[in-house]
Chain A
């Protein structure tokens, strides 16, 4: 059962709405409060429609009703009301909950992060300008938020009084690692509940989101190891990784919405094996290795680029799980870039996405790894193009020549994400974009396109 069905039909809390059941509209947004390892309560927004109910075990789930004050509006609700940010009202609770989640979060308080918080919410009535104003108002009201934030938020009418009792109440819940029946492994559920919700409801599942041995980001000797239960938001929030990848947030912002990033695990993205999986492309370009464990905790490690065999098939046996992924961190001479183009820039699936990791010393490319999605049956590591670039001087001629090789390595098909011609052109353009992004002083579009 999904969290959404439980909330609406068992608890009769009908403020949480059903829009799409695919995590694509945000009408079912709820907050999940978790006690972290330091005993501090942290809240994240999720789309309850694709979250298995079991993942709520030991958590504080906040629906819009749970944010209501007795006889007046909360600050987020008032901001939505006074700015005319609600018309038909159906998407509204999702926005209110997401904005409340923003107030509860540790995000930097500014307009841009407030918009990120509602990036997974679709409104078909307002055209968003009034909602932007509401977000502005929330940011203003949060200006003086201090560190003891729960009490401050209660005093300033963002949340009701009972929130102060939640840490104690959560501590009182005995967290059990339930002895689960055999069934499909599910972490965040963001792919599986889109693809086969009914099937999962009909059968037993094996929830792994809380498995500690699949969690964590560690950095040792220039090697970064990331547990496969790590969510995209965990990467986003990791300050060291942000130092190594200065554009990390810019890149991850292209990956789904905040609600989904809060749920989606890296491992899930890898085994979904979509030819267009954003995180897969990202880590392919980092030339990552994955460690696989089986029931007897026997481990093996293979390169991610060798993991995929054909469309949706990969090197994973029954009972095996992806444990972690590791890669060499970039240094001063290496550059990383991620590109993604889709019909809609945010919260959409790419037509083509691509990542590059390139090491340049004395104008020479000493190492290059390029991955590209949406142009083959698998998320594609460009062996030939990468090999070609290695050892070449970094010039526009090299890049143009490399594009010819790239074009031979890909085989896009026409589908709802674009014609094959378009994807070919886009692959070329994104390949060029890597270089104009990474070496803006050296290359502009003109270096690759005559008439630009």
Chain B
């Protein structure tokens, strides 16, 4: 009894320490960030004689290459070499899921911006000048830019996928209301401020080291090996950090790294390839545009009885990650609602756009936008508020998702009700009504947006990670994992875990670069799961070391192991401080020849999914929350300002409150950007028109909501979340969908003739056209 009690006291003291850290912990990189001392790919001190490379890409979206004349470019002084598919010693193939994407075009081109050759020169300036001297003759072929067109022509990436629950056909027969419609959500440019890039260096024996701005070091390594025809162990990938990723560097950081390595392979010299912004915008894929159709059926009491949706995903010219993204659209097609009868289908449509790719939310937002549109349409037709339908259908404990997983620890209603009461939503709605009655130049709108987002890679085999932890003989600690730091603060979380387990100050811990020679065969930092997977592995490694240290301490102090704990750099016996310090303990452990290094492997338990049945338990857990968005529309100009977004978010038990709040706010604003002002435009020839920051606008300081208030939902957290701190990277992006519907409601308040549109983004142009639609 006595022992137990003291342990409890100790645990609560430990908790108190980690609690203080939870509140105060800053991004561990922030010191060097604010001083301009953090290193990114383009900041690496390059070797003497380094060459610089620029990609020559297709000036047409679809066609046969008749002839290319490189002679003038090759003759330019300072040009070292121009590499094409002919120079590839291995396979000209970079497709990850499906082998359908060459590194360099061979005989035909499939999108505007498709890489054809790499110009290697003494400087980037010379290489770019040489690019202008290349003559290419392309016989143009018909161009497909939209998913609908691709569907009509039977142009697909792979076979369609379909999920179903219950029987929609039967259920529609029992519905009091049935509505059908179509929606569109546009793509979204990642606009990581650090563009894509890599730096390859030759090592001895034909080995190559690549410093890459990638979320997926193993993908870069494996693809480089494949293209160069080398074994993977000859390629080392090192990542210090990314200047933003957002999914754009999960798969699409790879080609540039491979190209740089290819040049290094041929020239035995270091090669740097950093895309300039225009090249990056033109050559890389974006969030997938979706054209979708839905049919929703409700009972008189507003229960959604049946829901059907067909999603046409504009995948672009190659698979990239599209099949996985399509799958997640199906997983999130019913968002936070329980619908007993569901049939959803997604078609990955092959078009002549750059291969679209991962972007925070990974197909989930596109799915959610459709059901929110269906609800808004139903509400407007029935003459109730969307809120009434949303509220009537929120998920409950033990409800079944359309993919067979039983919902557990559900926080849908909890977050919804908390948001309503904490933010006095009814008062807010009354205020808006009064405002709209009293103002004709300005109108306000409000929208609720509940979210439910599954955490895990939906491809179950990817849910694993490893951590390598060294305690050095002076007591300092180095932690290597597969996690890539891109601003999300994952390194800080890894450091917290080590600091908490060892009870040593964070200054004693260093988070190493992400390097394939230290942690191999990794999954990318994606799917919001990086902290969970790598954190669990770090926790396991640290705990194993802790057990070893405790054993050494118990032998040294001659007490039993379970009386030992570590606290504030000292060994404690039954919660009493001993003389034995952390550094002394480490020395003693060394002298006893006990290993001070541990490698741990974590694989998420419980999850599984059977693609032949499209049923299973793919997610470790779900993240919930509710946002209330209000907007004011200037009815003269069609411009708008978001007054506030008020959020109740399910962090579980946040381990780093400041960092997690930053994820919520950042994701929210990105979601609002996607829904409002970020407008990707291609012309009919497949040429990107929004090809610069002057034509593609992301939110700036003045366009974000005046107030963003986020209140953590009191929940237990989840055992599969690291320290019960739930994944936070992607889910809050979908709060941004509320912005779209708040705008719809404001327009309707001004123009009663307005027909709601489900065509995102809701730009100032669409708002103004809506305000004055059908009226003169």
Give the contacts of A166-220 with B (CB-CB under 8 A): 194, 198, 201-202
**Among B26, B277, B487, B698, contact of A21 (Cβ-Cβ < 8 Å):** B277
Contact A343 B677 (CB under 8 A): yes
Contact B487 A17 (CB under 8 A): no
Interfacial chain A residues near B33, Cβ < 8 Å: 80-81, 86, 89, 92-93
CA distance A122 to B191 in the complex (A): 10
A20 with B693: in contact, given A339-B637, A347-B700 (CB under 8 Å)? yes
Q: Is A40 an interface residue (CB 8 A)?
A: no
Q: Is A64 an interface residue (CB 8 A)?
A: yes
Contact B26 A82 (CB under 8 A): yes
CB nearest neighbor in A for B690: A416
Give the contacts of B690-719 with A (CB-CB under 8 A): 690, 692-695, 697-704, 708
Q: Is the interface of B mostly helix, strand, loop or mixed?
A: loop
Contact B690 A124 (CB under 8 A): no
Interfacial chain B residues near A25, Cβ < 8 Å: 193, 693
0/1 per residue, A17-36, Cβ < 8 Å to B?
11111101101000000000
**Among B662, B679, B702, B750, contact of A346 (Cβ-Cβ < 8 Å):** B702
Interface stretch, picked from A237-245, A327-335, A356-364, A427-435, is A427-435
Contact A344 B677 (CB under 8 A): yes
Q: Is A163 an interface residue (CB 8 A)?
A: no
Interfacial chain B residues near A432, Cβ < 8 Å: 636
Interfacial chain A residues near B637, Cβ < 8 Å: 339, 341, 426, 429-430, 433
Interfacial chain A residues near B506, Cβ < 8 Å: none
CA distance A76 to B765 in the complex (A): 38
0/1 per residue, A259-298, Cβ < 8 Å to B?
0000000000000000000000000000000000000000
CA distance A143 to B659 in the complex (A): 29
Interfacial chain B residues near A16, Cβ < 8 Å: 36
CA distance A435 to B753 in the complex (A): 26
Interfacial chain B residues near A433, Cβ < 8 Å: 636-637
Interfacial chain B residues near A125, Cβ < 8 Å: 244, 487, 662, 666
Q: Chain A nearest CB: distance from B719 CB in Å? A: 27
Q: Is A104 an interface residue (CB 8 A)?
A: no
Interfacial chain A residues near B635, Cβ < 8 Å: 445, 452
Interfacial chain B residues near A201, Cβ < 8 Å: 125
Contact A124 B670 (CB under 8 A): yes
Contact A343 B697 (CB under 8 A): yes
Give the contacts of B650-669 with A (CB-CB under 8 A): 658-659, 661-662, 665-669
**Among A96, A115, A127, A422, contact of B765 (Cβ-Cβ < 8 Å):** A422
**Among A20, A119, A343, contact of B764 (Cβ-Cβ < 8 Å):** A343
Interfacial chain B residues near A64, Cβ < 8 Å: 35-36
Q: Is B578 an interface residue (CB 8 A)?
A: no
Q: Chain A nearest CB: distance from B775 CB in Å? A: 5
Q: Is A129 an interface residue (CB 8 A)?
A: yes
CB nearest neighbor in B for A433: B636
Contact B669 A128 (CB under 8 A): yes
Q: Is the interface of A mostly helix, strand, loop or mixed?
A: loop
Contact B241 A89 (CB under 8 A): yes
Interfacial chain A residues near B638, Cβ < 8 Å: 341, 426, 429
Interfacial chain A residues near B677, Cβ < 8 Å: 343-344
CA distance A232 to B699 in the complex (A): 23
Q: Chain A nearest CB: distance from B436 CB in Å? A: 12
Interfacial chain A residues near B45, Cβ < 8 Å: 12
Contact B36 A132 (CB under 8 A): no
Give the contacts of A59-110 with B (CB-CB under 8 A): 63-65, 68, 73, 76-78, 80-82, 84, 86-93, 96
Contact A127 B708 (CB under 8 A): yes
CB nearest neighbor in A for B658: A84
The winner among A63, A129, A198, A339 for most chain B CB atoms within 10 A is: A129
A92 with B765: in contact, given A345-B639, A445-B441 (CB under 8 Å)? no
CB nearest neighbor in B for A194: B694
How many interface residues does B have (CB within 8 Å)?
85
CA distance A21 to B764 in the complex (A): 27
Q: Chain A nearest CB: distance from B192 CB in Å? A: 6
Interfacial chain A residues near B697, Cβ < 8 Å: 342-344, 348
Interfacial chain A residues near B597, Cβ < 8 Å: none
**Among B27, B666, B692, B698, contact of A122 (Cβ-Cβ < 8 Å):** B698
Q: Is A351 an interface residue (CB 8 A)?
A: yes
Q: Is A436 an interface residue (CB 8 A)?
A: yes
Q: Is B276 an interface residue (CB 8 A)?
A: yes
Interfacial chain A residues near B670, Cβ < 8 Å: 124, 127
Contact A96 B36 (CB under 8 A): yes
Q: Is A418 an interface residue (CB 8 A)?
A: yes
Q: Chain B nearest CB: distance from A249 CB in Å? A: 14
Contact B242 A22 (CB under 8 A): no
Contact A84 B659 (CB under 8 A): yes
Contact B34 A81 (CB under 8 A): yes
A451 with B679: in contact, given A89-B29, A128-B669, A345-B639 (CB under 8 Å)? no
Q: Chain B nearest CB: distance from A263 CB in Å? A: 16
Contact A89 B38 (CB under 8 A): yes
**Among B38, B39, B669, B679, contact of A343 (Cβ-Cβ < 8 Å):** B679
CB nearest neighbor in A for B191: A124
CA distance A92 to B487 in the complex (A): 11
Interfacial chain B residues near A161, Cβ < 8 Å: none
Q: Chain B nearest CB: distance from A16 CB in Å? A: 7
Q: Is B426 an interface residue (CB 8 A)?
A: no
Interfacial chain A residues near B244, Cβ < 8 Å: 88, 90, 124-125
0/1 per residue, A397-421, Cβ < 8 Å to B?
0000000000000000000111101
Interfacial chain B residues near A86, Cβ < 8 Å: 27, 29-30, 33-34
Interfacial chain B residues near A19, Cβ < 8 Å: 193-195, 277, 693
Contact A84 B661 (CB under 8 A): yes
Q: Is B603 an interface residue (CB 8 A)?
A: no
CB nearest neighbor in B for A351: B765
Contact B661 A198 (CB under 8 A): no
The winner among A12, A19, A125, A446 for most chain B CB atoms within 10 A is: A125
0/1 per residue, B664-695, Cβ < 8 Å to A?
01111110000001010100000001101111
Interfacial chain B residues near A348, Cβ < 8 Å: 694, 697
Contact A88 B708 (CB under 8 A): no
CB nearest neighbor in A for B190: A124
Q: Is A389 an interface residue (CB 8 A)?
A: no
CB nearest neighbor in A for B704: A128
Interfacial chain B residues near A68, Cβ < 8 Å: 35-36
Q: Chain A nearest CB: distance from B615 CB in Å? A: 37
Q: Is A131 an interface residue (CB 8 A)?
A: yes
Q: Is A126 an interface residue (CB 8 A)?
A: yes
Interfacial chain B residues near A341, Cβ < 8 Å: 637-639, 764
A452 with B441: in contact, given A343-B764, A347-B700 (CB under 8 Å)? yes
Contact B35 A77 (CB under 8 A): yes
A20 with B700: in contact, given A80-B34, A126-B662, A422-B765 (CB under 8 Å)? no
A73 with B42: in contact, given A22-B692, A129-B665 (CB under 8 Å)? no
Q: Chain B nearest CB: distance from A43 CB in Å? A: 17
Interfacial chain A residues near B107, Cβ < 8 Å: none
Contact B702 A119 (CB under 8 A): yes
Contact A345 B34 (CB under 8 A): no
**Among A84, A124, A445, contact of B636 (Cβ-Cβ < 8 Å):** A445
17 extra A-B contacts, CB within 8 A, seeds A84-B30, A89-B241, A346-B702: A15-B35, A19-B194, A27-B193, A86-B33, A87-B666, A88-B242, A88-B244, A93-B36, A118-B701, A122-B693, A128-B701, A129-B708, A202-B129, A341-B639, A348-B697, A417-B695, A436-B441
Counting from the closest, the 5 A-B pairs by CB-CB distance are A15-B36, A88-B487, A90-B243, A89-B33, A127-B669
Residues on A facing B (Cβ under 8 Å): 8, 12-22, 24-25, 27, 63-65, 68, 73, 76-78, 80-82, 84, 86-93, 96, 115, 118-119, 121-132, 194, 198, 201-202, 339, 341-349, 351, 416-419, 421-422, 425-426, 429-430, 432-433, 436, 444-446, 449-452
What are 17 A-B pairs with beta-carbon distances under 8 A? Answer: A63-B36, A68-B36, A80-B33, A84-B30, A84-B659, A84-B662, A88-B486, A88-B487, A89-B243, A92-B36, A93-B34, A96-B35, A126-B666, A127-B669, A342-B764, A346-B701, A418-B765
